[in-house]
């Protein structure tokens, strides 16, 4: 049901892909409503659950769970690195996945990290940006938070390469919930005391973070160039 809803949203928004960045929030009314919904859901459900999980789970166990879910994202990074002509990054991600899945007990231990092979991240949204696809309109998704049309499509495109989706519906849902709780727990204590419109601040932070990721950590002067049109950095 939820999957079908996102498909409908994506199809309705498809004609807007490629709009200029200055027009990237045409659904601000919907987005603000979802932003308010997400804040309430976090305050009354997600944050209390995360605090409970933190209280009853020792730090080494939480670290192992975090490593486990990080390991599941390695195939996505490997595939998208190849699609961006970054074979070095793809090889490192595959190496991490193999080593951590086998010697790291299904990813509970970051064996590859201890060997100096650090985790990197690529997704289909970044790949589409690499090949010149515009971000499309900014979107705030229920529970999932800030996104845009390109990244929303990327989530569906990455799904076949995510081992979480290889389970049945019940297993997939349980793993996604576990991943969400673990992610929210890592953010405890990091909530900023923002001054100004929190909706605008979150939107700006999301867009800046995605620019940073798309440009492989290269900071771009937004007043000089459109960062999405920059020449992507070559793989090391």
Collapsing DSSP states into helix, strand and coil, what is residue 51? helix
Q: What is the pLDDT of residues 66-76, one digit of tens each?
A: 999 999 999 99
Collapsing DSSP states into helix, strand and coil, what is residue 198? helix
Grade residue 1 by pLDDT with cuts at 50, 70 and 90: very low
Examine the pLDDT at 226 and tell me if it is beyond 60.
Answer: no
Q: Can you tell me the distance from the alpha carbon of 88 to that of 69, in angstroms, rounded to the nearest whole number?
A: 22
Q: Can you tell me the distance from the alpha carbon of 5 to that of 3, in angstroms, rounded to the nearest whole number?
A: 5
Query: What pLDDT was estimated at residue 192?
Result: 66
Q: By the 8 A CB rule, do 175 and 169 touch?
A: no
Kindly list the domain boundaries of the chain, sorted by start residue: 58-190+197-215
Tokens standing for residue 217: 């950590």
Query: What pLDDT was estimated at residue 167?
Result: 81
Q: By the 8 A CB rule, do 31 and 25 touch?
A: yes
Closest by Cα among 14, 21, 16 to 228: 21
Distance of CA 137 to CAs 123, 157, 224, Å? 18, 18, 22
Q: What is the CA radius of gyration of the chain?
A: 18
DSSP secondary structure, 45-101, as one string = IIHHHHHHHHHHS-HHHHHHHHHHHHHHTHHHHHHHHHHTT-HHHHHHHHHHHHHHH
Query: What pLDDT was estimated at residue 174?
Result: 83
Q: What is the mean pLDDT of residues 128-138?
A: 96
Q: What is the pLDDT of residues 176-205, one digit of tens each?
A: 889 899 898 988 877 766 678 999 999 999
């Amino acid at each position: 049901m939820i999957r079908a809803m996102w498909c409908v949203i994506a199809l309705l928004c498809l004609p807007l892909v490629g709009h200029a960045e200055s027009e990237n929030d045409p659904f601000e009314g919907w987005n603000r409503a979802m932003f308010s919904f997400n804040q309430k859901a976090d305050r009354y459900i997600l944050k209390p659950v995360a605090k409970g999980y933190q209280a009853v789970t020792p730090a080494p166990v939480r670290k192992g769970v975090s490593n486990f879910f990080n390991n599941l994202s390695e195939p996505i990074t490997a595939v998208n690195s190849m699609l961006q002509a970054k074979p070095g990054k793809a090889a490192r991600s595959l190496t991490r996945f193999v080593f951590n899945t086998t010697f790291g007990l299904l990813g509970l231990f970051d064996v590859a990290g201890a060997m100096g092979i650090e985790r990197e991240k690529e997704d289909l949204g970044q790949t589409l940006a690499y090949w010149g696809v515009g971000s499309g309109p900014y979107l705030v998704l229920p529970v999932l938070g800030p996104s845009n049309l390109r990244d929303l499509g990327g989530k569906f495109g990455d799904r076949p390469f995510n081992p979480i989706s290889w389970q049945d519906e019940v297993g997939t849902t349980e793993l996604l919930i576990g991943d969400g709780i673990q992610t929210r727990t890592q953010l405890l204590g990091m909530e900023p005391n923002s001054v100004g419109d929190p909706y605008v601040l979150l939107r700006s932070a999301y867009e800046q973070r995605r620019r940073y990721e798309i440009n492989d950590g290269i900071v771009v002067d937004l007043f000089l160039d459109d960062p999405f049109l920059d020449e992507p950095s070559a793989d090391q």
